[in-house]
Structure 1
């Protein structure tokens, strides 16, 4: 495993990775590295209450700084501080997963993260709009950002997040560099994600084509969008969701999967011995609940994954979750994907190791494979902390297509 994954919290991979995630957004204003190091120095390894309190205080400080700068007519510093606040509040609520659907702290911190983000975007030199995308009997929340203030049609990237990402993270993951290069960006929270989960109680579904196709239906009607130049960016579990959607959604010019995922259930299955998988199939739930419960009591990462999964997938129990995730696989249907695809790989991924190559080998469409290595600092899940290199790879692939 990459040495720098242990940098912030040497004895806790989950804490260390999430700290790296927050620090990695510094490229596009989501943090100051010195500030992140200072915050982490005050958090005992594995102490989830301290984690929430320290990151929340950092968000509060950033919000106060944003207000002060705005009063001084310093809009640039204000938007930078709001971006840090948004990221810090998101980080603060990350481990609050015991009963998140009824946790006022989760909803409060999430609201603060969203509000700070919108405040930052309104101070950007880009066109920004909060949008509602028609979806079944309701709507999905989203944003559209455009490089200019005109409605001249531009190439557009649609951000499809993952297991725990929120639409506001699109700014750091793809939107900021995309806008600099002349792309519009549309970001949305689908079922199981961000605001759609927290405010609307919508949970994940494996047939993601029924989520993404309404999004694309909406996107191609926008006057600032060039309909024949719509690209899809699938991030983390979004590497599965985006690919699944492309088995029937064929209007996209190309897609980037960061990282590729053939079978999302592998992230859970590989934590279980073969005998546990047999028990799961036979609905012997009690021993599975007990065994996973033991793992959850000693591993921050396992506990968070199971609790977040129960919430986001609408599962009543851990065994119920483990059965639900089995449906999130592309095995046997990858030949239906016809869109050109860039598959990215993180060789030291601590959640989905090996999945990008498995997907790439199964694809029959036009395809490119790139791994970003430990030498480049980008070998962890979604290449956290190496975004300049990541975006070089992505836009070297996309720019010739526009």
Structure 2
């Protein structure tokens, strides 16, 4: 019998938030339960350095084993080990987010990408990363062919990330399931994400239609992509980015938002209220709040470890913000105001019952004028949390069933 799932594996709340994500990737080869438990035990009551070191040791152990089995001709085993190592390197650096960029973060990011690319080379039709330009950004893009249908013209699912997930998160959370179901899958990192943020220092931008248009242009150059059946999926902040892209990029045949987000700043009022700020601030543009509100809010944020990481270390860095008022002004630009009716393709929204970031999903859904579908996920199914990470395979079954029917995918 497997051991019972503990209510918490990591001592530190932020480490728990970041460290259990690989559990969602177990069905797709990203981790095993015992590995994550062991890493949590090694971290113990340690700091972010201990978290980074434990994940890095585990990743290096996997890479060492991959080299050993590869030398004996076991390409499949080496590929599996390298993919898992890439996942672990990616988890190692998350608590280190922020500027100036920590040397350990940079090293782990590069180790992650190296392991991932080596893994993708160990297949019959090796997958190569390409660079796609979007203004000043050079975006890494991977086209992962459908399993067993590498040379067939098939529908394509493009996946876009949100605030802090990496290229390997998209691989395990979306691409493995999609390629098993007969879709080619394209994953990429844009402004404010992964390589473009870490290596190039380019911040997030709200006009994601321009980012995705560059990716679609690239996809249409591939002879295996069906140009009439290109879909886009986004998760977390991608639940805003994907609909925003669909409103401006009309070559998309379908759009998926996990969860659907009308804007980014809409969560600010609830966030501030949770920190003890007056409820009526939700009626004011956050960037225009008086210092008598912003100053105590800033104090509350900086004295709460999880909020400090989320808004300052991650949020400021991703958005290129200099201070709280500047940050709020920047995220106010992430809005679907005046664009919702421009979404024409069939669109799917997910809604997990315990996800605070899905608070406005139903209202956004009601505004859609395009063909639309809403899928609810519950705590009783183990899928009530953000991005359904407690039961990611359920999310993939339901979403890919809808996409299969919508695009008329056969076989």
With the length of structure 2 as denominator, give the TM-score of the two structures.
Answer: 0.89
Q: What is the distance in 1 between the residues matched to 2:303 and 2:204?
A: 26
Gaps of 5+ in 1: none
Q: Which residue of 2 aligns with 1:333?
A: 339
Q: Which residue of 2 aligns with 1:307?
A: 313
Q: What is the distance in 2 between the residues matched to 1:279 and 1:146?
A: 45
Match among 342, 345, 356 for residue 351 of structure 2: 345
Of 122-131 and 48-57, the range deviating more from structure 2: 122-131
Q: Which residue of 1 aligns with 2:104?
A: 105
C-alpha displacement at 1:311, in angstroms? 0.7
CA distance 1:39–1:52, shift in 2 (3 Å): same
Q: What is the distance in 2 between the residues matched to 1:281 and 1:99?
A: 22
Match among 352, 360, 365 for residue 360 of structure 1: 365
Q: What is the distance in 2 between the residues matched to 1:286 and 1:68?
A: 61
Residues 45-71 of structure 1 show CA distances to partners (whole Å, capped at 9, x for unaligned) of 583222112111111111112112212
Q: Which residue of 2 aligns with 1:297?
A: 303
The root-mean-square deviation of aligned C-alpha atoms, in Å, is 2.3
Q: Which residue of 1 aligns with 2:401?
A: 396
Q: Which residue of 2 aligns with 1:22?
A: 22
CA distance 1:117–1:150, shift in 2 (3 Å): closer
How many pairs were matched up? 396
CA distance 1:289–1:15, shift in 2 (3 Å): farther
Residues 63-117 of structure 1 show CA distances to partners (whole Å, capped at 9, x for unaligned) of 112112212222222112111211111111001124243x211110000111111
Question: Does structure 2 retain, via aligned residues, the 8 Å contact 1:276–1:288?
Answer: no
CA distance 1:5–1:88, shift in 2 (3 Å): same
Question: Does structure 1 retain, via aligned residues, the 8 Å contact 2:127–2:143?
Answer: yes
Q: What is the distance in 2 between the residues matched to 1:97 and 1:19?
A: 14
C-alpha displacement at 1:6, in angstroms? 5.0
Gaps of 5+ in 2: none
CA distance 1:205–1:44, shift in 2 (3 Å): same
Q: Which residue of 2 aligns with 1:152?
A: 152
Q: Which residue of 2 aligns with 1:56?
A: 56
Of 328-337 and 155-164, the range deviating more from structure 2: 328-337
**3-state SS in 1 of match to 2:380:** coil
Q: Which residue of 2 aligns with 1:7?
A: 8
Q: What is the distance in 1 between the residues matched to 2:33 and 2:269?
A: 35
Q: Counterparts of 1:181-200 in structure 2 under 5 Å? A: 181-200=181-200
Of 128-137 and 55-64, the range deviating more from structure 2: 128-137
**3-state SS in 2 of match to 1:330:** coil
C-alpha displacement at 1:125, in angstroms? 4.7
